[in-house]
Amino acid sequence: MNKLIPELYKKNRAKLVKFLKPNSVAIICSATHSLRTRSLYNEYRQSSNMIYLTGVMQEETVLILYPSHSKKEFREVLFIRYTDNKTLTWEGHKHTKHEAESISGISNVKWSSDLSVFLQQVIESASNVYLEMGDEWPSNDMSISASYRFSEEIKAKYPSKQFEKIVPLINQLRLIKENTEIEIIKEAIQVTGKTFSEILPLVNPGIYEYDVEAEITMRFIKAEKCPHAYLPIIASGINSTILHYNFNNAELINGDLLLLDFGAEKLGYASDLSRTIPVSGKFTKRQAEVYNSVLSILKEAKKLMVIGNTIDKLNESVGLMMEEELVKLKLLNKSEIKKQDKENPLYKKYYMHGTSHFIGLDVHDCGNREVPFAKGMVLSCEPGIYIKEEGFGIRLENDILIDKTPIDLMEHIPIELNEIEELMKQ
Ligand SMILES: [Mn+2]
């Protein structure tokens, strides 16, 4: 796919400005470039909203939308960082105005040194000022959000203005993916799936979880430097019962399972895959039983990912399937289930997370559990069973596109028990 997709970002902006009240200006900021330790930075990740609206991945970028302004040059302006000699020496090339225009499709690009004068002009003439007021962050993380700090500054400087939240409007739009976005997600899935198939024969007793992580990361880097969409979970043995295990430093032991939860990111869009495989290349009888329970739930659950359903209702349905499977596996019995507290069902001992989340520019994308599924949404389907007393957990996860009937975007990635064992023999 052509890396320059200004048409997508133009369309996204056009959708957003339709939501704005008359005579409004909207201001969207890029993510903070956070320090790792003194004077040295973490790898930069653009804010998802900035990617959604411009595709510009560079720090210190500000987008201003003022669609009803009488002068065209005020309606859509992108401010980018100016590359002075010091920046060139230490960091190298930054976007030229022309490059930023080619990426975003915004013809009016200015240097960020001109921002404050411009801001004053537009804020004074607008009736409403739309800002990112930190709604995109859980409250404890607000301090790290540049857009939150920026919105606080603007509110303090212009106390008489009417301020509105822009994030809920963008979130609403981000739920439904355009075809171009679905194509990008498929590219991310392609990298993830190919990587999974290639590492299967490399898994053996005696290597370490980080050896597997290294094999995954190497393949992502070779795929045009795809970042991980989130910290990969490479969890063997009892570690596989820890839902967000990230240490990835234990030795793989013969007879144990290895739970892998990882995904490549392409142009900001995530993929999210989970598979659980036997370290030895062969499942024990008990592991195979539990594996097939999880797999059958995945297959049934994804059929329920249809237009109009919700994550809440899906969780309820999967809860019932889970009870049935846990009885078959002799982990629960029917009479206990009959007597259980409905608010705190017994299956939660073995399945303590939800079945699904939205996927997009954030791996846990915007959208809550009550949003009715609609064509163009992408969600995970990820049942699991975690049995601490038996020393293993199994999670299987595919990414599903909502359409007339659900489309499993990870259908082609090996998941059947025999298939996994066969590929591990090579
Ligand atoms: Mn997931």
CATH number at residue 212: 3.90.230.10
Say how many Å lie between the CA of residue 391 and the centre of ligand 1. Answer: 22
**Confidence band, pLDDT 50/70/90 cuts, at residue 413:** very high
Same domain, 14 and 114: yes
> Of 262, 207, 214, 264, which is closest to residue 236 (Cα–Cα)?
207
Domain boundary among 139, 174, 209: 174
Q: List the domain range (segments joined by +) for residue 148.
A: 6-174
Residue 385, in any domain of the structure: yes
Phi, psi dihedrals of residue 420, rounded to the nearest 5°: -65, -45
Same domain, 164 and 201: no
Mean pLDDT of the 267-272 span? 98
Say how many Å lie between the CA of residue 358 and the centre of ligand 1. Answer: 9
| pLDDT higher than threshold 60 for residue 1 | no
Domain boundary among 174, 206, 222: 174
Residue 1, in any domain of the structure: no
Same domain, 58 and 197: no
Say how many Å lie between the CA of residue 302 and the centre of ligand 1. Answer: 14
| CA–centroid distance for 143 within its chain | 21
Same domain, 169 and 183: no
Q: Helices 285-303 and 311-328 meet at what angle, rounded to 10?
A: 150
State how far the alpha carbon of 24 is from the alpha carbons of 28, 166, 180, 182, in Å.
Answer: 13, 11, 29, 31
Mean pLDDT of the 312-339 span? 97
Total Cβ atoms within 10 A of residue 417 = 17
Q: What pLDDT score was predicted for residue 131?
A: 94
Beta-strand relationship, 24-29 and 128-131: parallel
Say how many Å lie between the CA of residue 17 and the centre of ligand 1. Answer: 31
Q: Is 167 helix (H, G, I), strand (E, B) or coil?
A: helix
Say how many Å lie between the CA of residue 19 and the centre of ligand 1. Answer: 30
Residue 159, in any domain of the structure: yes
Domain boundary among 174, 204, 238: 174
268, two tokens? 């900001």
Say how many Å lie between the CA of residue 265 and the centre of ligand 1. Answer: 13
pLDDT in tens, 102-132: 999 999 999 999 999 999 999 999 999 999 9
Mean pLDDT of the 66-81 span? 97
Q: What pLDDT score was predicted for residue 134?
A: 72
Cβ partners under 8 Å of residue 3, min gap 6: 267
| pLDDT higher than threshold 70 for residue 7 | yes
Mean pLDDT of the 371-395 span? 98
Say how many Å lie between the CA of residue 262 and the centre of ligand 1. Answer: 9
Q: What pLDDT score was predicted for residue 148?
A: 83
State how far the alpha carbon of 417 is from the alpha carbons of 81, 199, 275, 337, 414, in Å.
Answer: 52, 16, 11, 29, 9
Q: What pLDDT score was predicted for residue 34?
A: 86
Say how many Å lie between the CA of residue 163 and the centre of ligand 1. Answer: 35
Total Cβ atoms within 10 A of residue 29 = 22
Same domain, 185 and 137: no
Residue 254, in any domain of the structure: yes
Say how many Å lie between the CA of residue 141 and the centre of ligand 1. Answer: 21
Say how many Å lie between the CA of residue 332 and the centre of ligand 1. Answer: 26
Say how many Å lie between the CA of residue 133 and the centre of ligand 1. Answer: 27
What's the CA gap between 200 and 246, in Å, rounded?
20
Same domain, 221 and 370: yes
Same domain, 415 and 333: yes
Secondary structure tally for the chain: helices H, strands E: 13, 18
Say how many Å lie between the CA of residue 390 and the centre of ligand 1. Answer: 24
Say how many Å lie between the CA of residue 273 and the centre of ligand 1. Answer: 7
Same domain, 92 and 206: no
pLDDT in tens, 126-184: 999 999 987 666 555 655 677 888 888 999 999 999 999 999 999 999 999 999 999 99
Q: Is 284 helix (H, G, I), strand (E, B) or coil?
A: coil
Residue 232, in any domain of the structure: yes
Say how many Å lie between the CA of residue 169 and the centre of ligand 1. Answer: 24
Among 38-52, 60-74, 146-160, 244-258, name the one with the lowest average pLDDT. Answer: 146-160
Residue 28, in any domain of the structure: yes
What's the CA gap between 220 and 232, in Å, rounded?
12
CATH number at residue 43: 3.40.350.10
Same domain, 164 and 183: no
Say how many Å lie between the CA of residue 15 and the centre of ligand 1. Answer: 28
Same domain, 133 and 257: no
In one-letter notation, the amino acid at residue 380 is S
Same domain, 260 and 366: yes
Say how many Å lie between the CA of residue 400 and the centre of ligand 1. Answer: 11
Say how many Å lie between the CA of residue 396 and the centre of ligand 1. Answer: 9
Say how many Å lie between the CA of residue 360 and the centre of ligand 1. Answer: 11
Say how many Å lie between the CA of residue 201 and the centre of ligand 1. Answer: 24
Say how many Å lie between the CA of residue 410 and the centre of ligand 1. Answer: 13
Residue 293, in any domain of the structure: yes
Say how many Å lie between the CA of residue 339 and the centre of ligand 1. Answer: 32
What's the CA gap between 373 and 348, in Å, rounded?
25
Same domain, 170 and 199: no
Phi, psi dihedrals of residue 270, rounded to the nearest 5°: -95, 155
Q: What pLDDT score was predicted for residue 139?
A: 57
If one counts the domains in the chain, the total is: 2
- Structure-token match 């489309």, residue found: 407
What's the CA gap between 95 and 73, in Å, rounded?
20
Q: Is 105 helix (H, G, I), strand (E, B) or coil?
A: coil
Return the percentage of the chain with pLDDT > 70, whole number.
97
Q: What pLDDT score was predicted for residue 149?
A: 85
Say how many Å lie between the CA of residue 382 and the centre of ligand 1. Answer: 7
Residue 191, in any domain of the structure: yes
Mean pLDDT of the 309-333 span? 98
| Average pLDDT value for the chain | 95
State how far the alpha carbon of 73 is from the alpha carbons of 43, 68, 70, 76, 195, in Å.
Answer: 34, 11, 9, 7, 46
Say how many Å lie between the CA of residue 94 and the centre of ligand 1. Answer: 34
